[in-house]
Chains A and B, each alone.
Chain A
Amino acid sequence: MSTVAPPALRSTAFRQSLVVSGLFVLALLVVNFLFFPPGTVAVVLLSGLYQGMLFFLVAAGMSIVFGLLDVLNLAQGSFFMLGAYAGFAIYAALPEGAPITVRFVTALVGATLFGGLLGAAVEVGLLRPLYSRPIFQIVLTFGLATAINEVVRAIYGPAGLVPITPPAALNTTFTVLGGQFETYRVFIIAVGFMLMVGITLLLQRTRLGIVIRAGVQDREMVEALGINVRRVFTLVFVLGTAVAALGGMTAAPFLGAYPSMGGQFLLTAVIVIVIGGMSSYEGTAIASVLVGLTRATAEQISLQYLNTPVLASVSILVFMVVVLLVRPTGLFGRE
Chain B
Amino acid sequence: MNNLLSRHAESIFWLARQVERANSTARILDVNESFSRSPRGEHDWQSVLRLYADEESFRATGREPSADAVIHFYILDGDNPNSVLSNIRMARENARALRPLISTEMWVQLNGFHKWISRLRRPDLRVENLNRLCSHIKESCQTHSGITAETLYRDESWYFHQLGRAIERADQTTRLVDVKYQVLLPEPSDVGSPIDEAQWNTVLRSAAGFHAFRRVNPNSMSPSSVVNFLVFDPRFPRSVAASVLTANEHLNGIRIKYGHGSKHGASRLLRELAAELAEDTAADLIARGLHEGLDSIQAQLAGVTSALGTEFFLLA
Q: Does chain A bind chain B?
A: no
